[in-house]
């Protein structure tokens, strides 16, 4: 059973991200367009589940399936699209997850969505604080119920994502 654990920001998360970037570069090589640290562990000061979210932007999403064995060799489980069409998702660690890798083809709106949310939160500390506090409350309320924790965050994320996309398009012209 996955435990819902939300912890204070850890400076080491960026180091963990960089370690995995080296591995992704070795595995995916020339397929990679860019690699981004996303999610709450990429937002300074944010309380987060201690899981590093990595977004890998690739030229050809279909080619990613050829790397499943290499990803498995470094501890990742291939999960296919895992609920998002056009994505390839990998997780490291089962109940004690440490990393999620989200792979999208260049041009995917999901890349923009993730980057907009991250950058918006960094630029809007009051919103980031509200999100951080919400996650802490939900983790206390649902310590062993990941589904309810995620559902509890959903309205905030959807509302903030709309604002973030508008803000991001205005700031990244």
pLDDT value of residue 95: 75
Q: Which residues of 109-144 are buried (b: 16+ CB within 10 A; e: fewer)?
A: ebbbbbbbbbbbbeebeebbeebbebbeebbeebee
* All structural domains of the chain: 12-171 (3.30.460.10)
Give the global pTM.
0.95
List pLDDT tens digits, range 49-86: 999 999 999 999 999 999 999 999 999 999 999 999 99
Residue 15 to residue 59: CA distance in whole angstroms: 26
List pLDDT tens digits, range 105-118: 999 999 999 999 99
CB half-sphere exposure, 51, CA atoms < 13 A: 21
**Residue 124 tokens, joined:** 């809007």
């Amino acid at each position: 059973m996955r435990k819902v654990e939300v912890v204070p920001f850890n400076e080491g998360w960026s180091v963990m991200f960089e370690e995995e970037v080296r591995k992704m570069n070795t595995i995916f090589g020339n397929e990679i367009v860019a690699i981004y640290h996303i999610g709450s562990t990429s937002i300074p000061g944010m309380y987060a589940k201690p899981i590093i979210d990595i977004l890998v932007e690739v030229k050809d999403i279909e080619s990613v399936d050829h790397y499943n064995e290499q990803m498995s060799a470094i501890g990742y489980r291939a999960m296919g699209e895992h609920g998002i069409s056009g994505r390839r998702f990998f997780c490291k660690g089962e109940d004690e997850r440490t990393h999620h890798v989200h792979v999208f083809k260049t041009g995917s709106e999901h890349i923009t969505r993730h980057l907009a949310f991250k950058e918006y939160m960094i630029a809007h500390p009051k919103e980031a604080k509200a999100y951080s506090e919400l996650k802490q409350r939900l983790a206390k309320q649902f310590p062993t119920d990941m589904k309810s924790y995620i559902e509890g965050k959903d309205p905030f994320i959807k509302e903030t994502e709309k604002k973030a996309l508008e803000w991001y398009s205005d700031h990244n012209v």
